[in-house]
Amino acid sequence: MSATRMMILGLVRWMQPVHGYDVRRELLSWNADKWANVQPGSIYHALRKLAEEGRLREVATEQVGARPARITYEITPKGEDEFQNLLRGLWWNIGEVVDPFFAAFSFLPALSRDEASAALRNRARSLRSVNDSLRSAMESGWMKQGRPTHVAWMWQLSIARAEGEIAWCERIADLIDAGVPYIPEEFVQMPGWKEFGTLIGENAASTGSGEGEPPSRVQRSERTKPSDAAEESSADE
């Protein structure tokens, strides 16, 4: 939300006096809904909210026929302070990026090793394809005509981040293919971890039944989570 407010305040500041429609059109032309999580449907609401807070000023309202009224906005001194604070906060602080893949990767043992490795390599291919598209766009006339230099720098950052993830995907896929255990050897016999190892088929690999080979999946009629096993162990004590 802070990024959305900052961008709307910044655009009004640049384009004022400006209609809300033009602010929305400009943000969408930047594809801000894809890389800044600016939801198109929230832009008008944010403009009204900023006006209610005294950070924007409504300077004119136009009504053409039965069409919705078009409001023209300017930034206020209070809005200028808000913009500067948000801008510097985003520049100087590291924001937390929520990636749904992290949630999926936390359940890595639920996949077979073959599927996990294949999925990671497919992810690397997909990211590489996106990077190729970005590079092609950067070399095209679209980027070279009428785009500020720092827009290309933003794309270069996206490419660099993706290259880091590509290398990570391929490295982890290699480790999975090599049969590297998901549970560190020193944890295997610890309460809770032993049961979890059996659940995901790791114990066989950890006790020397095929070093370097992917462990086989073990079927169990009663599945015990590590946390449940640890609680049972504590109760026995």
pLDDT < 50 positions in the chain: 204-237
> Number of helices (H) and strands (E), helices first, in the chain?
12, 3
Supply the DSSP symbol for 74: E
Q: How much is the pLDDT for 218?
A: 39
Instruction: Tell me how far apart the 2 most distant CA atoms of the chain are, in Å.
Output: 81
| 39, 5 Cβ separation under 8 angstroms | no
- Span 2-92: which CATH code? 1.10.10.10
Domain map of the chain by residue range?
2-92, 112-177, 185-236
Report the C-alpha gap between 38 and 6 in whole angstroms. 11
Q: Compute the 3-state secondary structure of the chain and give helix, strand, coil in percent, each to the nearest 5.
A: 65, 5, 30
Q: How much is the pLDDT for 223?
A: 38
| 182, 202 Cβ separation under 8 angstroms | yes
Global pTM reads 0.71
CA dihedral sign, ordered 184, 188, 191, 194: positive
